[in-house]
Chain A
Amino acid sequence: MEIARHWRQRGARYRLEGQRSRSTGAVRFPAQPPALGEELNEWELVTLSGRGEIYSFSVIRQAPDGYDAFTPYPVALVRLAEGPLVSAQLTDCAEGDLAIGQSVEMATRLLVDGGADDVLVYGYKFRPTIQ
């Protein structure tokens, strides 16, 4: 059980909360602490749109512990509309539905259920765009 770690990541996982540079407008995800020598308020929190496209994808058939119930499931690198590249599970789709360059959108789903005495971990996945 890693409650504190999951709790710290809730902004990024639930809402795709990243950061935007006040000086250049560049967007990064997930949020990071300021670099040495950088202005403390250089990066402001920004909630990303959740829209993007598939940069690359693969299919997991032999899953790590806790993910067996989902197999086979696709994972992808998604190029977000704001620029960052994120790795995430895809959901509501099968391998045959997918293509590089395809439009996807974020959905908040159950990431992992560690068992009856653990917390339920929710976070972002991506799926083919509905609208």
Chain B
Amino acid sequence: MRPTRPVGVVGYGVYVPRYRIAAKEIARLWTDGQGGVPVDAKSVPGPDEDTITMSIEAARNALARAGVPAERLSAVWIGSESHPYSVKPSGTVVAEALGAAPWVSAADFEFACKAGTEALTAGMALVGSGMADYALAIGADTAQSRPGDALEYTASAGAGAFIIGPATEALATIDATVSYATDTPDFYRRAERPYPVHGNRFTGEPAYFHQIQSAARRLLDDLGKVASDFTYAIFHQPNAKFPQAVAKRLGFSDAQIAPGLLSPQIGNTYSGAALVGLGATLDVAQPGDTIFVTSYGSGAGSDAYALTVTEGILERRGRAPLTEAYLRRQVFVDYGVYVKWVGKLVMG
């Protein structure tokens, strides 16, 4: 899919909370420290952080890089599975905080871990049709997990924000996209339930791998390209192993995915994951580099994108903190502090 008017990323921003918990600290509680862990550590939201606050900071970074006044945003769209309210859009608070309100479309998107890229594709359409010049798409989550469940080792927090604008102003053009979705119930959370459930091994082949490989291969075919034509690639990262395995199957090398592979350090930021990875990759990319991105959301589906970095990256990159600045300030907490902060204690 391509819009009528060429579009691109005019500004991007990333946010990762300061706090981490080591996967081995979680294993200490539940497996006596025995067995392997899927990541080294995951990010933990502070007690005053949620999808709204993380979205605001990532979006402020994106606006700083874009150099576009907030009131010129025609859309503030936030993809998440952890919107703080069930009814009351996160987008309204974020748009107000940025200064984008009141003449703005503000909405929340939901599609498990690919809600953020759903917003990105919608933003491409809004700008690409000529209806608007700038749209802000955010993927952010403070992911939930049942104590002791396999998800508890990885379910983390982070946000990525992208301002879509005309390709002529872009720091990276978005050259094409595809979306792939099937009814594959690998992971879900019923209404009123605090924690999601998952299908264990079922989350692998028919879910994650099938959706990502289908979307990625279709986009490569549409473009007449192969994996080695791209400088970098990012795949949704629920753990450390899956994105490396799917990259290998599709023909991408370890070097291509290295800058955007953050799950070993910060876990799975859900709706943020592919977008934070793309932000970290833009932090190191040079003009002319090409980037291949494929998200994944349980339920299930994938969005794939091909981008080309422009000269604009050189001047705009330094206008906001790089992803590395957020990763570097890490402070580890123990399991007790973690459960207190993420609301896992029953206070009576």
**Which residues on B sit within 8 Å (CB–CB) of A109?**
46, 48-49, 53
Task: Contact check, A111 vs B84: say whether CB atoms are below 8 A apart.
Answer: no
A110, A125, A130: the one within 8 Å of B325 (CB):
A130
A15, A47, A70, A107: the one within 8 Å of B53 (CB):
A107
Task: Contact check, A15 vs B99: say whether CB atoms are below 8 A apart.
Answer: yes
Centre residue among A108, A111, A120 by max chain B CB count within 10 A: A108
Please classify how large the interface on chain A is, using the bins under 10, 10 to 19, 20 to 34, 35 or more: 10 to 19
Q: Is A22 an interface residue (CB 8 A)?
A: no
| Binary contact track B18-48/A, C-beta < 8 Å → 1, others 0 | 1000000000000000000000000000111
Task: Contact check, A108 vs B53: say whether CB atoms are below 8 A apart.
Answer: yes
| Given A107-B53, A109-B48: A122 and B97 interface contact (C-beta under 8 Å) | yes
Chain A residues engaging chain B, CB cutoff 8 angstroms: 10, 14-15, 47, 69-70, 89, 91-92, 107-111, 120, 122, 125, 130-131
- Complex Cα distance, B50 from A21, in Å, reads 36
Inter-chain pairs besides A109-B53, A120-B50, A120-B85, 11 sampled, C-beta below 8 Å: A15-B96, A69-B340, A92-B329, A107-B53, A108-B53, A108-B97, A110-B47, A110-B49, A110-B52, A122-B53, A130-B325
Q: Is B303 an interface residue (CB 8 A)?
A: no
**Which residues on A sit within 8 Å (CB–CB) of B57?**
107-108
Task: Contact check, A110 vs B53: say whether CB atoms are below 8 A apart.
Answer: yes
Task: Contact check, A91 vs B46: say whether CB atoms are below 8 A apart.
Answer: yes
**Which residues on B sit within 8 Å (CB–CB) of A107?**
53, 57
Sampled A-B contacts (17; CB under 8 Å): A10-B96, A14-B96, A14-B97, A15-B96, A69-B47, A70-B48, A91-B48, A109-B48, A109-B53, A110-B52, A110-B53, A120-B85, A122-B52, A122-B53, A122-B97, A130-B326, A131-B325
- Complex Cα distance, B98 from A92, in Å, reads 21
Per the CB 8 Å criterion, the residue count for chain B at the interface is 24
**Which residues on B sit within 8 Å (CB–CB) of A111?**
48
Task: Contact check, B321 vs A130: say whether CB atoms are below 8 A apart.
Answer: yes
Q: Is B93 an interface residue (CB 8 A)?
A: yes
- Complex Cα distance, B320 from A130, in Å, reads 10
**Which residues on B sit within 8 Å (CB–CB) of A122?**
52-53, 93, 97
- Complex Cα distance, B47 from A15, in Å, reads 21
A86 → chain B, closest Cβ, in Å?
17
B69 → chain A, closest Cβ, in Å?
11
| Binary contact track B310-336/A, C-beta < 8 Å → 1, others 0 | 000000000011000110010000000
**Which residues on B sit within 8 Å (CB–CB) of A92?**
18, 46, 329
B87 → chain A, closest Cβ, in Å?
12
- Complex Cα distance, B324 from A131, in Å, reads 11
- Complex Cα distance, B347 from A69, in Å, reads 11
B18, B46, B84: the one within 8 Å of A120 (CB):
B84
Output the nearest chain B residue to A11 by Cβ-Cβ distance: B96
